[in-house]
Structure 1
């Protein structure tokens, strides 16, 4: 079983060690800095932010957690973002999602300075990702690509099926894979005959947000499966793939936890470092 696993925990440690070494070698300038903006007290967000701050500390990157009241107005939040945009000592800004319902997430993402867009969610960044001219990438798709390349999974000419069409995973990932000369099909949970469409793939990436959606009927023995799901069922954390049912039926698979999740944080911090380099050319 071990030789089938694609360990994001293992690769993220390698990436973070590389970043740590690069940051340790900065001698004639200030260190890179990220600011994480949180609105309210979402428990899942608290957990994710804790992991991000811990990773920053490990690699020597400066970090700040700006926690704002749940009832802050959109205008007040935009004012905070403008302050960060104008702060020359800040290299990366992320606004932790989800935001309260009275705040328009798209407006917030569009307001973050593209030169500080650590999450890679701004329309300008996403446009550059599509055109293959971007220096940074949405962190989860970036992490998925790194996992595939680390395991020497051939992308050129590969038949890739992505289940999930979100602006932060499915759509940017499709463009990034197309730019690697893969043949990409984007599906969703309403796709007709979904299992048969998925079963023909060389690489199946599931980011549908539906626990254990992917069963043995969706896979084949030569397939690489990337599980982006982060679901809680009966208090237990699980992905979109029914792991126990699928693992013996595929070539390679990411576990949940320990697969895509750790890579998202490592790639987010790599984005911040690259934004820092661009600013200090």
Structure 2
């Protein structure tokens, strides 16, 4: 009997659909004299971070968003960074502010995220927005988690009642995804480096989301037949970008699978643009 390969969850196509809608929304906002604005603060010049920041800036500008890149030295003090962020908080041209991660070792990410006005925290990383998310009333959903949920919903498969397993418990991906899946009434298990018998857990998953950052961690024998598999892992191996999932073997067991690259990555950028436009829309109500 011939094996049927999984349907590929094409993040680029899904992102383009989002951009088409955003262009219309931005056009309507500009008719009301509101130009969505996004400021991205980058500390240092790590090549990978620069690539991500430049992609976000380019996409924002192509959509008609006023995008600004703020470059600071990687040895910047917390006080100096705070001054810059407070200035952006008070600048009405910018509805969204993000600080590109990872940060230099001398800066505490929690303290840095607390500097951003929660109403402009379009990454959704501040404790206020994380709290809103875990209370079931999200204000800004972290972009990667939002993109993952959009990919899941694009399958048209029911989430409620399904067994979901999330690999990774970071505050930027793993925990937000788990919270969103619970909001959709999935039964959620979060696995991490201390989980015993990982295969036993993953084999039960109708929905498997891997954000462990370990290349090839998920093999075919660890995946339930017919599962939906979302690969969030991004690791450079030589000049090749690879995910957590052994794509070639797993695609023959899963019903849907996201590739790396071209899966979650484009959706993360699209979701950030959605959050920025949402922030701009909210500013209309604040001024009314």
TM superposition score normalised by structure 1 = 0.97
**Given the alignment, which residue of 204, 229, 238 partners 1:200?**
204
Q: Aligned equivalents of 1:57 and 1:50: distance in 2?
A: 11
- Tell me, what secondary structure is at the counterpart of 2:194? coil
Counterpart of 1:119 in structure 2 is: 123
Q: Map of 1:211-230 to 2, 5 A cutoff?
A: 211-230=215-234
Q: Would you say the 8 A contact 2:6–2:255 is kept in 1?
A: no
| Partner SS, residue 236 of structure 2 | strand
Matched, 1:147 2:176: no
Distance 2:139 2:204 in 1: 33
Provide the residue aligned with 2:12 in structure 1: 9
1:3, CA displacement in angstroms? 5.9
Q: Is the 8 A contact 1:209 1:231 kept in 2?
A: yes
Please state whether the residue corresponding to 2:141 is helix, strand or coil. Answer: coil
Matched with 1:278 is 282
Counterparts of residues 59-74 of structure 1 (less than 5 Å): 59-74=63-78
Deviating above 4 A after TM superposition, structure 1's stretches of 4 or more consecutive aligned residues are none
Q: 1:144 to 1:92 in 2, by over 3 A?
A: same
SS in 2 for 1:248: coil
Contact between 1:229 and 1:240, CA under 8 Å: does it hold in 2? yes
Asked whether the 8 Å contact 1:135–1:274 carries over to 2, the reply is: no
Match of 1:20 among 10, 19, 23: 23
1:161 alignment partner, SS class: strand
Change (3 A) 1:136 1:230: same
Alignment partner of 1:254 is 2:285: no
Change (3 A) 1:248 1:2: closer
Q: 1:30 Cα deviation (Å)?
A: 2.6
Contact kept in structure 1, 2:147 and 2:267, CA below 8 Å: yes
Paired position in structure 1 for 2:268? 264
Q: Which moved more, 1:70-79 or 1:162-171?
A: 70-79
Q: Aligned partners of 1:121, 1:59: CA distance in 2, in Å?
A: 24
Q: In the aligned structure 2, how far is the partner of 1:108 from the partner of 1:161?
A: 30
Q: How far is 1:15 from its partner?
A: 0.3
Residue 95 of structure 1: aligned partner: 99
Q: Provide structure 1 residue ranges, at least 5 long, that are not aligned to the other structure.
A: none
Query: TM-score with structure 2 length normalisation?
Result: 0.95
The SS at the match of 1:34 is strand
Q: Spell out, residue by residue over 1:32-82, the C-alpha distance to the aligned partner (whole angstroms, 9 max, x if none).
A: 000000010011111101110121122111100001112211110011001
How far residue 220 of structure 1 moved from its aligned partner, in angstroms, is 2.0
> Does the CA contact (< 8 Å) of 2:166 and 2:190 recur in 1?
yes
Question: 1:105 Cα shift?
Answer: 1.0
